[in-house]
Amino acid sequence: MNYISEDTIAAVATAPGVAGIGIIRLSGSDALQITDKIFKTAGGKSLDLVNAETHTIHYGFIYDGDEMIDEVLVSVMLAPRSYTTENTVEINCHGGPFVIRRVLQTVIRNGARPAEPGEFTKRAFLNGRIDLTEAESVMDLIASGNEFARKNSLKTLRGSIYNEIHDLRDRIIHETAFIESALDDPEHYSLDGYPDELHKNVVELKNEIESMLSHADDGKILSEGINTCLVGKPNVGKSSLLNLLAGEDKAIVTDVPGTTRDAVEVKIQFGGLTLNMMDTAGIRDTNDTVEKIGVEKSRNAINNSDLILFVLDSSSKLEDDDIEIFDSINGKNCIIILNKSDLDPVLTVDKIHEMTDAPVVVVSARNEDGMEDLLHLVREMFLKGEISNNDQVYITNERQLSELRHVNDSLSLVLRSIEDGMTEDFFTVDLMDAYDRLGSVIGEETGDDLADRIFSEFCMGK
């Protein structure tokens, strides 16, 4: 690609707020010339950056006119060996927000233009240094909320998705090329038996895409967390379990039934999974106005969660309130937790199995027993593959996923055409559609609109 940006852009590349240093980044044909105008020795002499070697660091001072603003280090990265592939300068100044803003203003007054969000990465993409999945993973990396999300974005950034998609595209174009050749030159290429072979190959392609799509759900769950609620009668130990899982006292625990009235939300890291956990008021009939509202929230939580943890006190018999909850969880993703296993058991696992098909786990919040079993059940329910420490790349970006789903649909149409005994030229239309859509996953042959939309979602300075 030969995208040459005339204008030089500048932005603060570090996070807002007070920090040790702040970095102002410039990229474009005049990055060095602009810096030269404001970057000098303590005595005000030019440091002649235009003649600097690439990947060197220079010590000096930023001046606004005659006024010295800050003592800085300036890094020079010459085209094409920089993030954007353009001439790039990074000014490391002191981290106070006023200093940083002042330096940026000075840079802009001297000829740079303020960068739009994501514009540095957009240039890296337009200049062909990174593909679209990599660009999007830069954005995801910046926004990543936990360790899994960070690692996964980093893997994408290293181009794993690109390689996989590229391979799929190669295989598709191979088929269309063969069909076109055979139609053009039937003497040399025979289509005898070809539909069967194509059918086999397309089924393989679809299997790989479907595996990516199903792992995507895992990826989403790993990076965004499972919306989970703890429900049950008052006093069964919901808040105790929440505190145990959170590793700290997030919710009040007492032996008074009806302790929790408002929903308490906590993000819990649980054996590599993130649970967006909500503790709710114990469900029962009550005349207390405040508690009533809490109970209503609990009922809503049952309908709005990915996972319901229904807690029962194993030391007491089932009551009407329990039965009502059993009815309301019907058909939902639910795990039954038999708590207080340290006390004499009244309620058995067999009894629960009579009530529901949902899996049951026996725990004691008091003795901290059974948490491993619970984790095991959650993993079994939500993750299709083995997750930790493998090399699987999870596509979690919604745009990429939706393109992949379309690819899968197009390939289904190819299979249908083959099965219906259509002629070969029918296959190529849908094959090419799949090919194009795979291209837009990685940003090959994308229109400007798409690039603009994606890069405008970036944060400033990246």
* CA-closest candidate to residue 122, choices 109, 132, 107, 111: 132
* DSSP β-bridge partners for residue 227: 276
219 or 294, CB closer to ligand GTP? Answer: 294
Give the N- to C-terminal CA distance of the chain in Å, as an integer: 20
Residue 255 contact, options Mg ion, ligand GTP, none, Cβ 5-8 Å cut-off depending on partner type: ligand GTP
Query: Backbone dihedral region of 313: left (phi > 0), alpha (psi from -120 to 50 degrees) or beta?
Result: beta
Query: How far apart are CB 297 and Mg ion at their closest, in Å?
Result: 13
Which residues in 182-241 contact Mg ion (CB under 5 A)? 238-239
Q: Which stretch, 206-214, 252-260, 327-335, 435-443, contacts ligand GTP (CB under 6 A)?
A: 252-260
- Cα-Cα-Cα-Cα torsion 25, 26, 32, 38, nearest 10 degrees, comes to -70
154 or 371, CB closer to ligand GTP? Answer: 371
CA-CA distance, 166 to 427, in Å (whole number)?
A: 20
Q: Per-residue contact track with ligand GTP, 342 to 361, x per CB under 6 A?
A: xx------------------
Which residues in 267-296 contact ligand GTP (CB under 6 A)? 281-282
Assess 253 for contact with ligand GTP (CB under 6 A).
yes
Q: Per-residue contact track with ligand GTP, 221 to 250, x per CB under 6 A?
A: -----------x-xxxxxxx----------
CA-CA distance, 102 to 95, in Å (whole number)?
A: 11
Neighbours of 5 (CB within 10 A): 17
Residue 343 contact, options ligand GTP, Mg ion, none, Cβ 5-8 Å cut-off depending on partner type: ligand GTP
Q: Per-residue contact track with Mg ion, 246 to 285, x per CB under 5 A?
A: -------------xx-------------------------
Query: How far apart are CB 341 and Mg ion at their closest, in Å?
Result: 19
In what order do the strands lie in the sheet containing 67-77?
Answer: 39-40, 56-64, 67-77, 88-94, 21-27, 9-12, 113-114
Query: Backbone dihedral region of 373: left (phi > 0), alpha (psi from -120 to 50 degrees) or beta?
Result: alpha
Residue 50 is given by DSSP the state: G
| Lookup: tokens for 103 | 């330096």
Residue 339 contact, options Mg ion, ligand GTP, none, Cβ 5-8 Å cut-off depending on partner type: ligand GTP
Q: Per-residue contact track with ligand GTP, 370 to 409, x per CB under 6 A?
A: ----------------------------------------
Residue 244 contact, options Mg ion, ligand GTP, none, Cβ 5-8 Å cut-off depending on partner type: none
* CA-closest candidate to residue 311, choices 286, 336, 328: 336
Give the Å distances, CA to CA, from 301 to 77, 260, 310, 332.
Answer: 53, 14, 12, 12
Q: Which of 192, 255, 285, 357 binds ligand GTP (CB under 6 A)?
A: 255
* CA-closest candidate to residue 258, choices 289, 236, 235, 292: 235
107 or 363, CB closer to ligand GTP? Answer: 363
Query: How far apart are CB 254 and ligand GTP at their closest, in Å?
Result: 6
Chain residues binding ligand GTP by CB under 6 A are 232, 234-240, 253-255, 257-260, 281-282, 339-340, 342-343, 364-366
Chain residues binding Mg ion by CB under 5 A are 238-239, 259-260
